[in-house]
Amino acid sequence: MGPIDVFFGTLEVTLPVFSMVMIGILLKRIGWIDMPFINTASSLVFKATMPTLLFLSIIKADLASALQPGLIVYYLAVTTLCFLLIWAWTLWRSPRLDRGVFVQGAFRGNCGIVGLALAASMYGDYGLSLGGIMAGGVIVLNLVLSAIILALYSPTASSNLVSIFRELAVNPLIISILAAIPVAYFGITLPAWLMTSGEYFGSLSLPLALICIGGSLTLKAVSQTRGQALEASLWKIIGMPALGVILALPLGFRDAELGILFLFLASPGAAISYVMAKAVGGNEQLAANIIVISTFGSMATVSLGIFLLKLAQLI
């Protein structure tokens, strides 16, 4: 394909996802949805529809192809590496009390929603199943690393491994992935009516979650932001995916695996970062600014990244 064909092919992947975010912004602005709706819908997605979607995508997948231990280990390793590099960066670029919020916002991506939606848009069921397994692994890693870095620089929080593991044990996304793997491995067949009902219910996840992301964003935060939020956002949407792809190429990652890896690393800041920053008495405005800037910025950087990787025939 020529550059023009590659460009329009890229837009076919990214526009359906980010258009749902823009619809959320519009619906909030005209008053058709409000924060109580967004909070309730987000909770529904997290607790019910997204776990259903991940469960079904994994049990329908061919685990021999969808379960890629090498890619998953690499993804978790490069995420940890970026976490450490960003932490080192903050030692001379960020005030001490803001370091935890900066690091969390710069390395923790919204891969469970935006990354998964992009992977599904680009690679269909394979992207959804492999992405679901990758999301499950990184959710655990992100929660542990975020809790540690926030506790180190928070004036109120303390490291509590018991509470971290308790939160992991009851996380609906992790539970659904762990439950789906043996079902898929042993080839257990669920009733057709249950599968169909589950597909109806799970299909609500991505559009509803993306609309909620859009509805929760505010342009006011962008106008009030400082240099820290911009730096953290650039780490998230440019630094992490660039480093991840560069290091992945010598290891032989190509095609769908490299594409999904890029999409997950390039996902914007996770909304949960704001909640955790606020809970430990951190700079919640900085956390909100990172989410807003990285979300809007990723609309361009993800599209550009896919375009370049396709043009180079790497994906």
Mean pLDDT in residue range 67-82: 95
Average pLDDT over residues 18-26: 90
pTM: 0.85
Q: In the prediction, which pLDDT does 278 show?
A: 77
Q: How far apart are CA 76 and CA 260, in angstroms?
A: 13
pLDDT higher than threshold 80 for residue 90: yes
Query: Across the chain, what does the average pLDDT equal?
Result: 88
pLDDT band at 194 (very low <50, low <70, confident <90, very high): very high
Q: What is d(CA 150, CA 103) in angstroms, rounded to the nearest whole number? A: 9
**Hey, what are 273's tokens?**
């970062």
> Per-residue pLDDT for 225 more than 70?
no
State percent of the chain over pLDDT 90. Answer: 44
Q: What pLDDT was estimated at residue 223?
A: 54
Which of 90-94, 182-186, 237-241 has the lowest average pLDDT? 182-186
**Spatial separation of the C-alpha atoms in residues 186 and 204, rounded to whole Å:** 28
Output the CATH code of domain 3-311.
1.20.1530.20
| Rounded Cα distance, 146 and 277, in Å | 9
Count of other CB atoms within 10 angstroms of residue 187: 8
For 273-293, write each residue's pLDDT tens digit.
887 787 778 888 888 889 889
**SS3 sequence, the chain?**
CCHHHHHHHHHHHHHHHHHHHHHHHHHHHCCCCCHHHHHHHHHHHHHHHHHHHHHHHHHCCCHHHHCCHHHHHHHHHHHHHHHHHHHHHHHHHCCHHHHHHHHHHHHCECHHHHHHHHHHHHHHHHHHHHHHHHHHHHHHHHHHHHHHHHHHHCCCCCCCHHHHHHHHHCCHHHHHHHHHHHHHHCCCCCCHHHHHHHHHHHCCHHHHHHHHHHHHCCHHHHHHCCHHHHHHHHHHHHHHHHHHHHHHHHHCCCHHHHHHHHHHHCCCECCHHHHHHHHCCCCHHHHHHHHHHHHHHHHHHHHHHHHHHHHCCCC
Q: How far apart are CA 17 and CA 206, in angstroms?
A: 9
Query: How remote is the C-alpha of 306 from its chain's centroid?
Result: 17
pLDDT score of 294 more than 70: yes
d(C-alpha 114, C-alpha 20), whole Å: 11
Residues in a beta bridge with 269: 109
- What's residue 65's pLDDT? 77
So what's the pLDDT on residue 103?
97
CB neighbour class for 2 (10 Å; exposed up to 12, middle 13-18, buried from 19): exposed
Q: How confident is the model at residue 227 (pLDDT cuts 50, 70, 90)?
A: confident
User: pLDDT tens across 109-167, in order?
Assistant: 988 889 988 998 999 889 988 998 898 888 889 988 988 898 888 776 555 667 667 76
pLDDT above 70 (res 73):
yes
Domain range summary for the chain, segments of one domain joined by +: 3-311
- pLDDT at residue 301 greater than cutoff 60: yes
What per-residue confidence (pLDDT) applies to 193? Answer: 96
The more confident residue out of 199 and 10 is 199
Other beta carbons less than 10 A from residue 135's beta carbon: 25
Task: Burial-class residue 278 by CB neighbours within 10 Å (0-12, 13-18, 19+).
Answer: middle
